[in-house]
Structure 1
Amino acid sequence: MKSKLDNFLDRDRKLRSWPAKRTNQRIVVEYLSTNFAEGVEYTEAEINEIIKDNHTFNDHCFLRRELVDNRLLGRTSDGSKYWKIPLPEEL
């Protein structure tokens, strides 16, 4: 059975497009956030590489901002460190 998420992934399970609907955008960024481990501090370069490895439309900066804006990744005010914020059901 095909899920809403499948509409935005290629056969390698990489994000291939950005959804127009906000509810689908949330599904996509939550999926993208599963590539980050809790309790690990990442540099911006590490975040960018993980995002680049998991999408195909060449806009890692946009996706990084979406992860932060959706409170799936936290970051220091200077952007030097990032970390995963667990989803409520993961607590």
Structure 2
Amino acid sequence: MISKPVDHTIVERALNLFDAQGRLTQWSSRRSMQELCLWALWARLPANSVLNDKQITALLDRLHLFEDAALIRRELVDFRLVSRKADGSDYRRTEKPPTPEARALIRHLSSRS
């Protein structure tokens, strides 16, 4: 299987949305950029763990600066990067391989922290 090359221009644009500590500073209006940034946040969620609403909100609050954890939670679920019970009580990171650009972004951000 041949993997497609990483679009480094997109990765650089996404990196500009994060501060020196790897926190997301703003929510992009571009859907493709939102998804890429969500992958970076997904990578910092604990694998194989169940988080309640309060726990995931506290964790997301540490990962972004624009004070809208509810938006990020909803988008993580919409992009199927996180699953949650119907009543919203339990959140779980969905284990799946990131896109090539997401892997590059995650790698760059992990070197910042």
TM-score, normalized by the shorter chain, greater than 0.5: yes
Q: Which runs of 4+ in 1 moved over 3 A?
A: none
Matched-pair identity in %:
28
Matched, 1:54 2:63: yes
- Is the Cα contact below 8 Å between 2:50 and 2:90 reproduced in 1? yes
TM-score (norm 2): 0.73
Structure 1 CA distance, aligned partners of 2:96 and 2:29? 23
- Is the Cα contact below 8 Å between 2:53 and 2:90 reproduced in 1? yes
Q: CA RMSD in A?
A: 1.8
Specify the SS of the correspondent of 1:3.
helix
* Range with greater deviation from structure 2 (31-40 or 53-62): 31-40
Structure 1 CA distance, aligned partners of 2:26 and 2:93? 23
Instruction: Please name the residue that 1:64 is paired with.
Output: 73
1:9-88 matched pairs, under 5 angstroms: 9-88=18-97
Displacement of 1:87 in angstroms is 2.4
The one of the two structures with greater contact order (alpha-carbon pairs below 8 A, sep at least 6) is: 2
Number of equivalent positions: 90
Q: Which runs of 5+ in 2 are unaligned?
A: 1-7, 100-113
Q: Which runs of 5+ in 1 are unaligned?
A: none
- Cα distance change of structure 1 residues 26 and 89 upon mapping to structure 2, 3 Å threshold: closer
